[in-house]
Chain A
């Protein structure tokens, strides 16, 4: 079966859990920005948890189904409508051949995940169906979906209608966000005062926020510890000899606007980094809208691992609920 794309939305891409193993070549892991929401969407429709879904940003697509299927929409609060009739988010519903799925305006969050029973069945490239537009990999010809596309869907009976992830098991930013981070990498390059300011200041998500990274504005510029720049680094104190960038690492070009690298990160470059957002908070970043107030909070490794366990437990809770 196939889904006809009447309207693609803003930047709707096909995403699964990504393609690990190629970061050393500059090909990022990619995959869903909010992995928890992708897992849940697939669980709701009875797919394997890593099946490919549609990830839409800020605005939903309009899709026409050629065969019956089960569908679920998770992540951002982007209310689905079937032939104009409202349907609940985080809840499975049946779609009949010929029906049209569209969306109301975004109410909260940034990225919604549309799972279809059988999963979106575009070809696997380097182990994943995830769209990585810069490298023209995955998805539909390595790009976001476009009007007129016909998205192939795998076979699968689909789960029953009305399966739902309870509201207390979802995770969506409401108001200001705290991002936990482990200071490190080139932290020693900034002064003690600058380090204190970084955590004291309230930052806001800048309009430049996408799958590659999230930029933040509004805090005080960072002062650097004076040094003679090492050979090969470049003259700005925020420059380093080009190195690898961890996912979630916070680089601050020129010391002014922090950028947190995300799933489609560039794998390396010449800007210093002052630490890394912990793995447990990466999904949350994918749901932050521009202008969201943000504080960075320092944690240690024990706290980071504890938070990671809690995220695993939250997903286990959903699995148990839906089994």
Chain B
């Protein structure tokens, strides 16, 4: 992997760590952006890590773009040697699959879909080789997902499934993006899962909805009182399938401000993970559920 550098106008440097997605590329992007943060380079105004790339915004009145490029390239070498280990947390996120709200929305946008005769989840199950939607849900919620980028809008997490590549779910985005997506929709586009933090446009296939808010600009929700955005890169998510009753219960708890997501602090080690993916995930679950 060699980094590809490109200027985004006179205020940004864009760095592609790898054309394709992998956790190795993510960790390299994360370690370089951490190094950039620590280096406190004068003129840097924004540091944005992404899935397999990252972007630096800078003020060219303070530092010449060529000098910024040199600084970044010098940090790349140090970041190469960094360990692929991070202290992070695992979070259980309840999902009501095939809920009525995303169903209503997907029906409204059927003409923009690859397969207007099926629902998003039926289509995703079929093209990924699952006989039934239930088996697809098992595959979606059976192994944890890694937050590999936060962005698009208002703290929306992009998630990368922690299984070997052959088992990873992949679906295309809608043929034309929707103009509407319910808030807290859980979906996938390409290999990336996401939770739509707010209502709005979107192109990912929609599978369900979570009762758990992940963005609160007023910071009134107890677990968002420190900061309005819940997720950060490196967080690990475990989907928990729930039914209508559990969903309604959780929504009531959110309204009463008594809902708190189940979380557990962990150290994630990419090397150890890759040696035995399923075994490593099982240990992560033990940490989360304490059994």
Seen from chain A, the residues whose Cβ lies within 8 Å of a Cβ on chain B are 20-21, 23-27, 125, 134-137, 142, 181-182, 184-185, 187, 230-236, 239-244, 246-249, 266-270, 273, 275-279, 301, 304-305, 308, 312
Contacts and interface: CB of A to CB of B under 8 A. Distances in A.
Contacts of B55: 243-244, 246
A194 B262 CA distance: 51
Contact of B173 (A142, A181, A234, A276): A234
A304 B152 contact: no
Contacts of B16: 243
Contacts of A21: 45-46
Contacts of A243: 14, 16, 50-53, 55
Contacts of A266: 151-153
A242 B158 contact: yes
A187 to B, nearest CB: 8
B215 interface: yes
B76 to A, nearest CB: 17
A184 B191 CA distance: 25
Contact of B14 (A142, A185, A239, A312): A185
Interface stretch (B3-11, B87-95, B265-273): B3-11
Given A21-B46, A135-B153, A242-B51, 20 more contacts: A20-B57, A21-B45, A26-B154, A26-B156, A134-B154, A134-B198, A181-B9, A233-B19, A234-B189, A235-B172, A242-B190, A242-B192, A244-B53, A248-B11, A266-B151, A267-B151, A268-B152, A270-B173, A278-B10, A305-B10
A159 B69 CA distance: 44
A304 B10 contact: yes
B10 A308 contact: yes
A108 to B, nearest CB: 26
B65 A301 contact: yes
A187 B9 CA distance: 13
B46 A24 contact: yes
A248 to B, nearest CB: 5
Contacts of B18: 230, 241
A311 to B, nearest CB: 11
24 contacts: A21-B46, A26-B150, A136-B198, A142-B217, A181-B9, A184-B14, A185-B8, A231-B191, A232-B190, A241-B21, A243-B50, A243-B52, A243-B53, A246-B14, A247-B11, A247-B57, A266-B151, A268-B149, A268-B152, A270-B189, A275-B9, A279-B60, A301-B7, A305-B60
A276 to B, nearest CB: 3
B10 A267 contact: no
B166 to A, nearest CB: 11
Contacts of A312: 61
A241 B52 contact: yes
Contact of A246 (B12, B192, B217): B12
3 cross-chain pairs, A with B, having the tightest CB-CB distances, nearest first: A246-B8, A232-B21, A276-B9
B20 A230 contact: yes
A189 to B, nearest CB: 10
Interface in B36-64: 45-55, 57, 60-61, 64
Given A134-B198, A305-B60, A26 B151 contact: yes
Interface residues of B, number: 56
A144 to B, nearest CB: 15
Interface of B: 6-12, 14, 16, 18-22, 45-55, 57, 60-61, 64-66, 149-156, 158, 160, 165, 170, 172-173, 189-192, 197-198, 200, 203, 215, 217, 229
Contact of A244 (B11, B151, B165, B229): B151
A308 B8 contact: no
Contact of A230 (B9, B19, B49, B156): B19
Given A234-B173, A241-B52, A26 B153 contact: yes
Given A182-B7, A301-B65, A308-B60, A234 B46 contact: no
A125 B16 CA distance: 32
Most buried by B among A185, A236, A241, A301: A241
Contacts of A304: 9-10
Given A234-B190, A276-B8, A241 B198 contact: no
B149 A242 contact: yes
Given A25-B155, A239-B173, A270 B190 contact: yes
A213 to B, nearest CB: 11
B152 A125 contact: no
Given A21-B45, A244-B54, A308-B60, A135 B198 contact: yes
Most buried by A among B10, B197, B229: B10
A185 B49 contact: no
Contacts of B51: 232, 241-243
Nearest to A248: B9
B190 A233 contact: yes
A273 B55 CA distance: 13
Contacts of B9: 181-182, 246-249, 275-279, 304
B50 A242 contact: yes
B217 A185 contact: no
